[in-house]
Structure 1
Amino acid sequence: MTDFNRMPGTSLGKSHAPIDTRRRRVLAALGAIPLAAGLATLLALPRSARAATTGTVVEGRDGWLYPGWESLTDDATDACLKNVDLIYNAAQKLAARKILCLVAIAPLKARPCAANLPAGVTLSVAMQKRFAAMHAHGNAIGLPIIDSEAALAALDPDVESFVRADYHWSGHSAEAVAARVAARIAEAGPLPGTAGTGAKLGAWTEEVHYGDLADLLALQQKKEIGKDHFIVRAVAQQNALLDSGPDVVQVVGNSMVQPYLGFTQKLSNALDRPVGLTWTFGDTGPWKTLLNYLEGPAFKSHPPHAVVWQFNEGQMMNGPAAAGQWDAPSVMAEDAWLARVEKAVGAAGA
């Protein structure tokens, strides 16, 4: 198989451009915390769960796999809310340029898929409340945070919200959250650009291969877990109007919004406008990924109407200065990070 549609850290431009449909997710895209920390998390699990782990993978019921580096008990809510405030500060700088900033947080896999966790393993009471706390705090201070947990809960019961032996949410989940993002952007007022320039969605199709969490297992255990059925969109034929103008909305995030899973394509289709994408591997982190876009040529030449900034819940407690969580070039003091955001946004308006 080939790698992702585009190299990480680059803008996709028109997210609906037809590219090779044979893609592969790699664990580097997940932004997994260091192995030692992951093992510490596993040792904090109940004995029944530890018995079902290999390395940093937790095996649940019916062959479901979960990332062991994402704690199910240490909620770190205070740190998460502090970072929501930091995101709001950056969003205010965009708002000063009349650019709307919306936040989409991919929930922990264990949140919508709790029924398949190992016997005796549950989210702590504080963890059960954390996602709602971030959502409520963001909306209270004026930062639009999309209720992706509700979006996943509203999926058809026959549709999986996450891929069984993979870290990522499913194509259906990506589209459900994107649809809510589109509705929120539409509520904010008329869109610039030309109608008819949005992405066309292809038919749902099925690809069978190993999930990225399964790839972490020993060969025999991997074979026992087996391959997964990835339900994704086929690439649709686009019309000639797609190159008629700049991207109206820019998505910035990690592998949850990679083209393979269809988040950006669905957003473009729902808005009927071109949507761009800048995504990086998870260990780059959301803070540096935003800078990659804001300091790049696309933002300077054509600032968008809105920025959709995507995070993973399991990383929300880690700010820009979280050494050991992001790769070394991505780590910086909060003040330095915010100053770079301000400079980039101001420079684009000069």
Structure 2
Amino acid sequence: MTPRRALLAAPALVLAAGATRARSAWAQGTGDSLVLAGQQGWLFPFWDNLTQLDEVAMRQVLGLHTEVIALLKRGNIEVAYCLIPMKARIYRRFLPAGRRFAPVVERRYSNLVAALRAAGALAPDLAEVMAQASAIDPHWPVFFRSDTHWTPVGAETCAVALATAMRAQFRLPAPPQAGVRLGSIRMLRLAVGDLVQYLPPEQRGAFGPEESPIRNVLPATAGAAALLEEDASDMQVVGTSNVQPRFNFVPVLSNQMERAVGLSWLPNNVGPYAALLEYVRGSEFRQRRPRVIVWNHLESDMSTPINNPNWRQSGLNAESFLNGLRQAVLA
């Protein structure tokens, strides 16, 4: 029997409670660096600003998302958000001494969730879910210490929470294809965190590999493999690098929803808007329109305009993006 909700409904991967992990005590200020060095070897991206928030930009972004949600719903597609909170929000206890959230940033995540729900989307509070999981089993963090990404533990935690919310809110027909089967636990090894590169060369040696438990994805049965050619998923995850196959978000979501789940992702330096537009313009969308799109965003990106110059799709403005969606979804 495939491990499903009975196996995964508890906080994700609460394993090896007595496990110990080597932790660097190195911490110092980083001046103009792109990384903020915290306590016990924790690194935080400097662009996750804890003290300032452009509320005008955030309102504009939310206005755009409100239009996207309405547009997709007109196309008979439900929208669920996988809104990943800032790493510092979950692990603020490891921030450098004296670093604090400004009240307006403190409220941002909950305000975003409330606004997305008001616009008609499903938006679980993943900040609360991840905070609970990190408190229950601190040995296996929900984010890598020296990387911007969540761990497989964090990915599974959020996939379970999202699936629980979708099962409660969406009335979906019988799936055209069974969900992914999950098996035993192995360790995923991160050779070096992506934030280490921003440290001065002489400090990078203090950071070694990190590991996180992840579930094996079992091969499809012969019958399920045959279905792949005839039927397909009616749920699609669209986003950036956190939802890539490496962290197991989509397999766990598929397992929990007991249905196949498709995936379209692009690196975050391209952006979540380009990822969505590329997907709806593609042949996969034209051939089998999903009933649900799970759109993955980072908290900090939700106060960044769509033409953010740090995204390679900076030439994409709100009007052209919405026009592209309309042509694909409402055609």
TM-score, normalised to structure 1's length? 0.79
Tell me if structure 2 keeps the 8 A contact 1:66–1:213: yes
Amino acid across the alignment from 1:228: E
After the TM superposition, list the runs of 4 or more consecutive aligned residues in structure 1 that deviate by more than 6 angstroms: none
Amino acid across the alignment from 1:103: Y
Moved more, 75-84 or 188-197: 188-197
- Give the paired residue count: 297
1:158-186 alpha-carbon deviations (Å, 9 max, x no partner): 33121111111121111121122212222
1:228 to 177, 185, 210: 210
- Give 3-state SS (helix, strand or coil) of 1:230's partner: strand
Equivalent residue runs for 1:98-117 within 5 Å: 98-117=76-95
> Which residue matches 1:215?
197
> Which residue matches 2:235?
249
Equivalent residue runs for 1:259-274 within 5 Å: 259-274=245-260
> Which residue matches 1:118?
96
- TM-superposed deviation, 1:286: 1.1
> Which residue matches 2:323?
339
1:125-179 alpha-carbon deviations (Å, 9 max, x no partner): 1111110111112222322222111110221233312111111112111112112
Residues 335 and 243 (structure 1), Cα distance of their counterparts in 2 relative to 1, 3 Å cut: farther
- Give 3-state SS (helix, strand or coil) of 2:330's partner: helix
Moved more, 161-170 or 209-218: 209-218
Tell me if structure 2 keeps the 8 A contact 1:81–1:134: no
1:48-85 alpha-carbon deviations (Å, 9 max, x no partner): x9734573111110111111122111122342233122
TM-score, normalised to structure 2's length? 0.84
> Which residue matches 2:137?
157
> Which residue matches 1:325?
310
Moved more, 72-81 or 186-195: 186-195
Distance 1:302 1:146 in 2: 26
- TM-superposed deviation, 1:243: 4.8
Residues 189 and 54 (structure 1), Cα distance of their counterparts in 2 relative to 1, 3 Å cut: closer
Tell me if structure 2 keeps the 8 A contact 1:166–1:211: yes
Distance 1:289 1:195 in 2: 25
- TM-superposed deviation, 1:223: 1.4
Matched, 1:85 2:63: yes
Distance 2:239 2:201 in 1: 31
Equivalent residue runs for 1:50-65 within 5 Å: 51-52=29-30, 55-65=33-43
1:72 to 47, 50, 54: 50
Tell me if structure 2 keeps the 8 A contact 1:101–1:306: yes
Amino acid across the alignment from 1:225: F
User: Between the two proteins, what is the percent identity of the paired residues?
Assistant: 29
